[in-house]
Structure 1
Amino acid sequence: MPDEQQPRTGSSPSGAGVARRRRRRTLHIVAWTASGVVLLGATGAGYLYHRLNANIHSVDIDGALGTHRPARLDNGSMDILVLGSDSRSGANRAYGHDSGTARSDTAMIVHLAKGHKTASVVSIPRDTLVNRPACTGAKGAVEPAGQQVMFNTAYEVGGPACAVKTVEQLTGLRMDHYIEVDFTGFKNLVNDLGGVPLTTTKAIHDDKSHLNLTAGTHTLNGDQALGLVRTRHGVADGSDLGRIQLQQAFIKALIDRIGGLGLFSSPTKLFSVADTATKAVTTDTGLGSVNKLTGLAESVQHLHSGDVHMVTLPVRYDPANPNRVEPIQSQADIVWAALRADKPIPADATKGSVADHVDAGKVVGGKATAPAAPKPSGSASSKPSGPTSP
Structure 2
Amino acid sequence: MTQPPTGPGGPGTFQFDFAAPASPQAPPPRSRRGVRAAQFGGLTLAALSLGGLAVLSSSGDASGVGAGGVPQFTLLVAGRDIVYCAYRTPCADQDQRSGLLQPPNTDTLMLVKVDGSAVNVLNIPRDTNVGPFDPELRWSEQKVNGRYWSGGTPALVQAAETITGESVDAHMIVRTDYVARVIDALGGLDVTVPEGGIEWVDRAAGVDLRLSPGNHHLNGEQAVLYLRVRKGVGDDYGRIDHQKQALTQLASRLTSAQGLAALPTILGGVGNGVETDADPALLTTLLPYLPDLRLRFATLPTTPIPGTSNLAVNPEALAQVWGTDGEADASTPADPTDLADVGVRIRDASGADLGNRLAGALRRLGYERVTAETVPASREASQVVTGPDVAAASQLADALGLPRLQGERFPVAAGEVGILLGADARQSLAALSALPPSPDTLPTPTETP
* Interval containing the TM-score (normalised by the shorter chain): 0.5 to 0.7
2:212 corresponding residue in structure 1: 214
Matched, 1:171 2:164: yes
2:247 corresponding residue in structure 1: 251
Q: Secondary structure at the match of 2:152?
A: helix
CA contact (8 A) 1:315 1:325 kept: yes
Instruction: Give the 3 Å change call, closer, same or farther, for CA 193–356 of structure 1 in structure 2.
Output: closer
Cα distance, 1:320 vs structure 2: 1.5
Deviation per residue, 1:230-253 (Å, 9 max, x gap):
111111x3x111110011111112
CA contact (8 A) 2:123 2:299 kept: yes
Instruction: Give distance in 1, aligned partners of 2:310 and 2:113.
Output: 26
Counterpart of 1:81, as a letter, is L
Instruction: Give distance in 2, aligned partners of 1:161 and 1:109.
Output: 15
Counterpart of 2:191, as a letter, is L
2:80 corresponding residue in structure 1: 85
Instruction: Give the 3 Å change call, closer, same or farther, for CA 167–152 of structure 1 in structure 2.
Output: same
Counterpart of 1:78, as a letter, is F
Instruction: Give the 3 Å change call, closer, same or farther, for CA 317–306 of structure 1 in structure 2.
Output: farther
Structure 1's unaligned 5+ residue stretches are 1-19, 35-71, 134-143, 373-390
Q: Secondary structure at the match of 1:186?
A: helix
Counterpart of 1:310, as a letter, is F
Matched, 1:31 2:27: no
Matched, 1:317 2:310: no
Match of 2:327 among 344, 353, 357: 344
Instruction: Give distance in 2, aligned partners of 1:192 and 1:200.
Output: 22
Cα distance, 1:152 vs structure 2: 0.8
Matched, 1:153 2:146: yes
Cα distance, 1:103 vs structure 2: 1.4
Cα distance, 1:83 vs structure 2: 0.5
2:155 corresponding residue in structure 1: 162
2:118 corresponding residue in structure 1: 118
Matched, 1:359 2:409: yes
Cα distance, 1:158 vs structure 2: 1.1
CA contact (8 A) 1:131 1:147 kept: no
CA contact (8 A) 2:122 2:322 kept: no
Instruction: Give distance in 1, aligned partners of 2:197 and 2:257.
Output: 27
TM-score, normalised on structure 1?
Answer: 0.58
Matches of residues 220-231 of structure 1 in structure 2 within 5 Å?
Answer: 220-231=218-229
Instruction: Give distance in 1, aligned partners of 2:88 and 2:164.
Output: 33
Matched, 1:232 2:230: yes
CA contact (8 A) 2:78 2:172 kept: yes
Structure 2's unaligned 5+ residue stretches are 1-17, 24-40, 46-62, 92-98, 202-206, 330-384, 391-404, 413-419, 424-443
Counterpart of 1:225, as a letter, is A
Match of 1:195 among 188, 199, 209: 188
Instruction: Give distance in 2, aligned partners of 1:187 and 1:91.
Output: 22
Q: Secondary structure at the match of 1:232?
A: coil
CA contact (8 A) 1:198 1:253 kept: no
Q: Secondary structure at the match of 1:104?
A: coil
Cα distance, 1:350 vs structure 2: 3.2
Cα distance, 1:359 vs structure 2: 3.4
Match of 1:326 among 301, 309, 312: 312
Aligned residues: 280
Cα distance, 1:344 vs structure 2: 2.9
Instruction: Give distance in 1, aligned partners of 2:121 and 2:294.
Output: 11
Cα distance, 1:271 vs structure 2: 4.0
CA contact (8 A) 1:83 1:104 kept: yes
Cα distance, 1:216 vs structure 2: 3.2
Q: Secondary structure at the match of 1:129?
A: coil
Instruction: Give distance in 1, aligned partners of 2:303 and 2:287.
Output: 34
**Seq. identity, %:** 23
CA contact (8 A) 2:85 2:100 kept: no
CA contact (8 A) 1:184 1:280 kept: yes
Q: Which of 1 and 2 has greater Rg?
A: 2
Q: Secondary structure at the match of 1:160?
A: helix
